[in-house]
Amino acid sequence: MSTRLNSGKKSQPQRSSDDDRRDAAIQELRRGTHLADLLRKQVELIPEPGRRDAAVANVGEISMAMASSLNILQSEMEHYSSSPEVGAVAMAAPAAYSSDGGGTGERNGAVAGRARRVRHRRGRHGAELPIIKEILTEAPENDRFHWRKYGEKTILNAQYPRLYYKCGYSDDHKCPAKKYVQQQSNSGPPLFMVTLTNEHTCETLFRDEPSSSSSSASQVLDFAKASLSPPVMAAVPGLKKEEEDDRSTSLSMHGYSYDEYLSSSLPTMSPDGDQVNFSPGPGW
């Protein structure tokens, strides 16, 4: 997962698996750019001017995001192919934080006095989580599930921290669904890469319990709760609460249904090409 770009030890000019992965990513981005171009041509055929313009604008954003990602990757490749050592130094720049804890602010005294904990199972456990979808979107919070934030991490060479969410019913219903949100760009409307892992078992639970329409189900459907994940806004430094609310409002004013939310994003990726079963359930 990690590219280890600033490890400093990596001065061998030989190709690594990281290089291969970067190549693959560049290939995919080029393909995506091409597809976005095709999509733009199709979208331009929409007869209604309003819808057409909006769609063209969206496709334009997608193309821009692809292009900037492509640029970043390509400039990295050039760095390493020409001068690995220089590249390693150069890439250290964004890592303004220490890796652990992120340095996202201190808490007076209380944290310092926190006792060291002894724990058992930590970190990655066994196999990789099954990635259900990866979505590039302006509205990562707008997927109608109830997420609880459980972590935030500064990612190497990433401009913004990655935010970790688990299903708000992970405890109640042992729902394993998780979501990682990482801001991709801040030029224009901020774009977020949302990675969804594991299926929502809470969703099927509610589907099996039609009688639970009033209390618990209504909680799941609590759009205000589910659609607003304020911590996501924390990825946009300087946003105050009121501004966050404004922003949430403006985002929700897109009026997406979940299908629209997904379809308005980049083509989603399912590792094995299986039908992705992440469609809104009856409570959607």
Partner DNA sequence: GGCATTTGACCGAT
Partner DNA sequence: ATCGGTCAAATGCC
Nearer to DNA, 195 or 212 (CB): 195
Task: Give me the sign of the Cα torsion angle 29, 32, 36, 38.
Answer: positive
- DSSP result, 224-249: HHHH--GGGGGGSTT--HHHHHHHHH
Q: Locate 77 and state its tokens.
A: 């490749």
Q: In the complex, what is the shortest distance from the CB of residue 169 to DNA, in angstroms, rounded to a whole number?
A: 9
Q: In the complex, what is the shortest distance from the CB of residue 119 to DNA, in angstroms, rounded to a whole number?
A: 5
Nearer to DNA, 101 or 282 (CB): 101
Q: In the complex, what is the shortest distance from the CB of residue 69 to DNA, in angstroms, rounded to a whole number?
A: 16
Strand runs (DSSP E) across the chain, as ranges?
131-137, 147-153, 162-167, 178-185, 191-197
Half-sphere exposure for 105 (CA within 13 Å, toward CB)? 4
Q: In the complex, what is the shortest distance from the CB of residue 43 to DNA, in angstroms, rounded to a whole number?
A: 33
Q: In the complex, what is the shortest distance from the CB of residue 260 to DNA, in angstroms, rounded to a whole number?
A: 24
Nearer to DNA, 40 or 270 (CB): 270
SS3 for 206?
A: helix
Nearer to DNA, 61 or 87 (CB): 87
Q: How far apart are CA 166 and CA 152, in angstroms?
A: 12
Nearer to DNA, 123 or 210 (CB): 123
List contacts with DNA (CB under 7 A).
1-2, 4, 6-7, 95, 99-111, 113-126, 129, 147-158, 162, 164, 166, 168, 178, 180, 229-231, 234, 241
Q: Give me the phi and psi of 148, to 5 degrees please.
A: -115, 125
